[in-house]
Amino acid sequence: MVIFGATGDLTKRKLFPALYNLAKDGFLPENFAVIAVGRQELETDDFRHQIIADLKEFIETPDKKLIEWFEERTYYTGGDFDDDKKLFTDIKDLLREVCQKHDIPENFFYYLATPPQLFANVAGKIHKNGLSKEEEGHWRRFIFEKPFGRDIESAKKLNRELGKILNERQIYRIDHYLGKETVQNILVFRFGNSIFEPIWNRNFIDHVQITVSEELGVETRGGYYDKAGALRDMIPNHIFQLITLTAMEPPVSFEADAVRDEQSKILHAIQPFAPEDVLHNAVRGQYGAGEIEEKKSAAYRSEQSVALQSNTETFAALKLSIDNWRWADVPFYIRTGKRLPAKRTDVTIQFKKAPLMLFRGTSVEKLTTNRLVIHVQPNEGITLHFGAKIPGPIVNMGTVDMDFDYVDHFGEQISTGYERLLYDCMTGDATLFQRADMVEASWQVVSPILDVWQAIPARDFPNYEAGTWGPADADELLAKDGRKWRNTIEVIEK
């Protein structure tokens, strides 16, 4: 594995801990090694020292033997990514040396954890130096971190550039949400059971809500985030993955392209907004100062590396329509934001009310209808809410839950979310990675919104206090359809 951008946060927080977990569970072969590549000129020993110290911080109960195993298999080389020759010749030499030393059969995968503007350039140089060619049965694969493009034009351009030097089957566009167990479980839940699928459509479902909320602000990432914003950062990637898995038709098999064909159809069925739709069906917000868990929290505009008059949104909510037979007239409400009251990702399937209110006139009428909630994080599980009679001589109904909790049933799984994805790349399974057409279809939906938001700067920013559920307009988005976000109809049950 060759990691470009290896001195960054991702390598220490996610990639190395994920490799460690894979090795611990016996999923890494003996003949495996990592070459870390960064701009800094460091000795391998210095890099090893640092990464092992980080590893000990990010994993629980590190195993001494395993740590040593990693140390022996980690190498570093540094230099200028723009330099056509030197760095890439060094990498080539090091690959040869490492393969000999660890008896590695020259299968390489390159992880581009660099800023996205370097993707095409670095891949091009790998190619130019003969390191992308698959010869004598050896494979060469490339993982690209998000964001893949910043709008439809740049995503298409990047796909075109990569397409000139690589085969699509060598390209793995990663989205770490697909590495989450509960996200993968959406497919098993839907297609491994027979009782849900018959009601998973417009005849029974009133609407779907997806919330991805975070308590965190932008921390040290202001430089990136201020140019990206909540919509680009979370929606065409993470949230669209949740939508496709929730909404797709059953695939004909679990082969990568069979699954991705169905996901792609959903992305193409999401209706792009005309400019006037943006005004009605999209809401943006930016946090001002506030309080989270009794701690004072600064306004977005006073965060590090954020412009003082920044117009970047830290909250976005959309009402989407999926125009196909299954989902016509079933709105998908999605929202994401920073500095909200809780870290929570969930998908709520709100079923229609019973056709006849037999209990009219009692408190029953006020009850919300059946709801299925897929809790992606932090407390992974699934809850089905339904009405039940409260014992007593008068008819009084309350809502009760049937609850499945991952940890209760399967015990705690220690995972960064990257394990499965790295493993799949090594074994050549691209099911959980995005294809070129999927990325483009996602930007196709999002780009018109970005255009309108850029053309008409928000006049009311900041428009929500840190520690609240976003701007009032986000509630209004549902209220005008006679609906409410789940957190406002019940105490968050997880």
**C-alpha separations of 54 from 7, 47, 111, 155, 344 in Å:** 11, 11, 19, 33, 27
Query: Alpha-carbon distance 335 to 485, whole Å?
Result: 10
Query: Alpha-carbon distance 452 to 455, whole Å?
Result: 5
238 catalytic per annotation? yes
Annotated binding residue 211:
no
Query: Alpha-carbon distance 341 to 254, whole Å?
Result: 38
Q: Is 214 among the residues that bind ligand BG6 (CB under 6 A)?
A: yes
Annotated binding residue 169:
no
Q: Which tokens is 131 given?
A: 């390191």
Burial class for 69, CB neighbours closer than 10 Å (0-12, 13-18, 19+): middle
Annotated binding residue 149:
no
Query: Alpha-carbon distance 101 to 33, whole Å?
Result: 10
| Displacement of CA 486 from its chain's centroid (Å) | 21
Binding track over 15-54 against ligand BG6, x by CB under 6 A: ----------------------------------------
Annotated binding residue 338:
yes
Tokens 């009310």 correspond to 353
Asked if residue 384 lies in contact with residue 401, where contact means CB atoms within 8 angstroms, the answer is yes
Annotated binding residue 268:
no
**C-alpha separations of 154 from 116, 143, 341 in Å:** 11, 18, 34
Q: Is 226 among the residues that bind ligand BG6 (CB under 6 A)?
A: no
Q: Which is nearer to ligand BG6, 151 or 233 (CB)?
A: 233
Total residues contacting ligand BG6 (rule CB under 6 A)?
A: 4
Query: Alpha-carbon distance 182 to 403, whole Å?
Result: 14
Asked if residue 263 lies in contact with residue 245, where contact means CB atoms within 8 angstroms, the answer is yes
Binding track over 325-364 against ligand BG6, x by CB under 6 A: --------------------x-------------------
Check 238, 268, 280, 409 and give the catalytic one: 238
| Displacement of CA 188 from its chain's centroid (Å) | 19
What is the smallest separation between the CB atom of 401 and ligand BG6, expressed in angstroms? 24
Give the single-character DSSP code of 358: T
Residue numbers 128-157 binding ligand BG6 by CB under 6 A? 146
Order of strands across the sheet with 282-285?
282-285, 315-320, 332-337, 205-213, 344-351, 371-377, 381-389, 397-405
Q: Which is nearer to ligand BG6, 10 or 66 (CB)?
A: 10
* Among 233, 313, 346, 419, interactor with ligand BG6 by CB under 6 A: 233
Binding track over 112-131 against ligand BG6, x by CB under 6 A: --------------------
H or E element, residue 51 = helix 44-58
Q: Residue count of the chain, please give it.
A: 494
Which residues contact residue 353 at a Cβ distance below 8 angstroms, ignoring those fewer than 6 apart? Answer: 206, 369
Nearest to 486 by CA among 407, 369, 326, 376: 369
Burial class for 229, CB neighbours closer than 10 Å (0-12, 13-18, 19+): buried
Q: Annotated binding site for substrate: which residue ranges? A: 176, 180, 214, 233, 338, 343
Tell me the catalytic residues: 238
Binding residue positions for NADP(+): 5-12, 39, 80-81, 146
Which residues of the chain form contacts with ligand BG6 (CB under 6 A)? 146, 214, 233, 345
